[in-house]
């Protein structure tokens, strides 16, 4: 017990040391504090990275830093409608920001992707901001903040960005590669699961936080309609289990019209050999991507875990995902929770899909690496499905290594046995994920900050 307490205290101290201040107020945490590595942009506060830190602060009753973060992030949101393609679109939130200057000359500099590797705009930042706003309101009951005119406008701008007409016929969001946690080329362009899951959670958040007055009424109607179509589409077409696999195996191609069974013209020969034996009678998961002639059969950790937590997955699907994690524990958890995707791209697939990315070699970084930040998602998902034993087992694995390995960013190898070749030490979201997981396991009622109940009406027309 004393060892565990000392570990929690050390993690808490490390998280506190990562806090950044703006105008003498705490506004976030930096990405990492590795003294042996060049800072690059790891000295900035990333929206997605701050989420586990914010959740832990809320669970500890330290809401001020979260409130400040929400306010300054909203102030950095792109508000102008621009025709210049090199400027962030209206409603977009930055990937990160940093404090520049000292005392009276301090100001914030936001990065919307124009400084990022490969210059990809962060699609997920606005969704994480919305999800975190809801968590803050649930923790503090500070509805006044969410109902402020600038916050209502901010929510509407996010919805406008996502719901306006586009060159697409699906209810899912069409986005480029590298637009989410996997921010390098990994074959995610199209309709990746992670973005769709966050989009679903953001729409449900908007239902709760938007005021039903003025233009809010119009947006609420649009949200309800889109949410119905999106839910049906993801649960019907992204879901993979043995029954669904058998249907795809017997697909006929080149079908036309409303009665087509093979709606996306997917050919059975694209089914990977590993999948047939990987699925068991009671397991299932959401595939990574879906589009014309394409199903990405890879298992993506964040999208599937988040689907359980926010109730995108039905109760039955949630149990199937949990069963899959238990059955394929070595592949998905191994020596450090949790695998970002499985399996890794190798050989010619690695060369053509990642562009020969040396950081994403097989079983490293985004290409099948293990990321401790996913521990808190795993804990939340398994607690929600009544499998606290799996959460405790995963946390026990992490506890034995994280502090010794100086809170590494990611792990390499098929089972996550090696500290990532280029992993930063004292990675803040690794520290925060550990603390959130410990807190959730001790007090499962905190799960309400991030989770949603199953919606009552999921009926929708077939798209």
Contact 428, 15 (CB under 8 A): yes
Q: Encode pLDDT of 261-300 as tens digits.
A: 888 888 999 999 999 999 999 999 999 999 998 999 999 9
In a domain, 250, yes or no: no
Residue 462 confidence (pLDDT): 43
Q: What is the mean pLDDT of the chain?
A: 93
Q: Is the pLDDT of residue 402 over 50?
A: yes
Q: Where are the alpha helices (DSSP H) in 148-253?
A: 149-163, 193-209, 215-237, 242-249
What residues make up the domain containing 143? 2-241+279-449
Neighbours of 451 (CB within 10 A): 18
Q: Is the pLDDT of residue 113 over 90?
A: no
In a domain, 23, yes or no: yes
In a domain, 458, yes or no: no
In a domain, 96, yes or no: yes
CATH of the domain at 341: 1.50.10.10
Which residues neighbour 177 within 8 Å (Cβ) at sequence distance 6 or greater?
120, 184, 185, 186, 187, 188, 189
Residue 2 confidence (pLDDT): 52
Q: Encode pLDDT of 176-226 as tens digits.
A: 999 999 999 999 999 999 999 999 999 999 999 999 999 999 999 999 999
* Residue positions counted in the chain: 463
Mean pLDDT across 445-457:
89
Residue 86 confidence (pLDDT): 67
Q: Is the pLDDT of residue 54 over 50?
A: yes
Q: Which residue in the block uniquely carries the two structure tokens 């589409």?
A: 233
In a domain, 47, yes or no: yes
Q: Is the pLDDT of residue 236 over 50?
A: yes
Q: Is the pLDDT of residue 459 over 70?
A: no
Count up the domains in the chain and report the number. Answer: 1
Nearest-10 Cα torsion for 31, 32, 37, 41: 10
In a domain, 369, yes or no: yes
For residue 6, name the pLDDT band (cuts at 50, 70, 90): confident
In a domain, 147, yes or no: yes
In a domain, 268, yes or no: no
Which strands sit side by side in the sheet containing 285-291, from one edge to the other? Answer: 239-240, 285-291, 294-300, 341-342
pTM exceeds cut of 0.85 = yes
Mean pLDDT across 121-149:
97
Mean pLDDT across 429-455:
97
Residue 115 confidence (pLDDT): 79
Contact 373, 430 (CB under 8 A): yes
Residue 16 confidence (pLDDT): 97
């Amino acid at each position: 017990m004393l060892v565990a307490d000392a570990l929690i205290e050390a993690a808490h101290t490390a998280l506190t040391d990562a806090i950044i201040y703006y105008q003498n107020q705490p506004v976030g945490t930096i990405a990492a504090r590795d003294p042996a590595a060049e800072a690059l942009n790891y000295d900035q506060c990333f929206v997605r990275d701050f989420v586990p830190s914010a959740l832990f602060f809320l669970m500890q009753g330290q809401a001020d830093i979260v409130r400040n973060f929400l306010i300054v992030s909203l102030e950095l949101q792109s508000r102008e409608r621009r025709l210049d393609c090199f400027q962030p679109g209206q409603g977009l939130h930055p990937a990160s920001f940093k404090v520049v200057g000292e005392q009276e000359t301090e100001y914030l500099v936001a990065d919307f992707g124009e400084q990022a590797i490969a210059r990809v705009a962060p699609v997920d930042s606005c969704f994480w901001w919305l999800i975190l706003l809801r968590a803050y309101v649930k923790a503090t009951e500070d509805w006044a903040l969410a109902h402020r005119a600038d916050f209502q406008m901010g929510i509407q701008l996010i919805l406008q960005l996502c719901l306006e007409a586009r060159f697409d016929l699906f209810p899912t969001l069409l986005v480029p590669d590298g637009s989410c946690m996997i921010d390098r080329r990994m074959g995610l362009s199209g309709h990746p699961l992670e973005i769709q899951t966050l989009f679903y959670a953001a729409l449900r958040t908007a239902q709760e936080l938007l005021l039903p007055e003025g233009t809010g009424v119009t947006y609420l109607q649009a949200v309800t309609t889109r949410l119905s179509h999106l839910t049906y589409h993801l649960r019907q077409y992204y879901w993979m289990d043995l029954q669904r696999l058998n249907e795809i195996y017997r697909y006929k191609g080149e079908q036309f019209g409303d009665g087509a069974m093979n709606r996306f013209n997917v050919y059975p020969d694209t089914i990977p050999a590993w999948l047939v034996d990987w699925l068991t009678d009671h397991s299932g998961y959401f595939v990574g991507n879906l589009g014309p002639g394409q199903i990405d059969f890879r298992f993506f950790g964040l999208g599937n875990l988040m689907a359980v937590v926010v109730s995108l997955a039905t109760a039955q699907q949630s149990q199937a995902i949990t069963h899959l994690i238990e059955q394929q524990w070595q592949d998905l958890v191994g020596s450090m929770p949790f695998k970002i995707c499985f399996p890794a791209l190798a050989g010619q697939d690695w060369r053509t899909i990642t562009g020969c990315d040396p950081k994403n070699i097989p079983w490293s970084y985004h290409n099948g690496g293990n990321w401790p930040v996913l521990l808190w998602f795993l804990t939340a998902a398994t607690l929600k499905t009544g499998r606290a034993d799996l959460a405790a087992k995963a946390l026990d694995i992490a506890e034995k290594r994280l502090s010794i390995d100086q809170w590494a960013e990611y792990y390499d190898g098929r089972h996550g046995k090696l500290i990532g070749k280029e992993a930063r030490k004292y990675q803040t979201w690794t520290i925060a994920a550990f603390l959130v997981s410990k807190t959730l396991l001790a007090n499962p009622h905190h799960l309400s900050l991030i989770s949603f109940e199953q919606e009552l009406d999921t009926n929708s027309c077939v798209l």
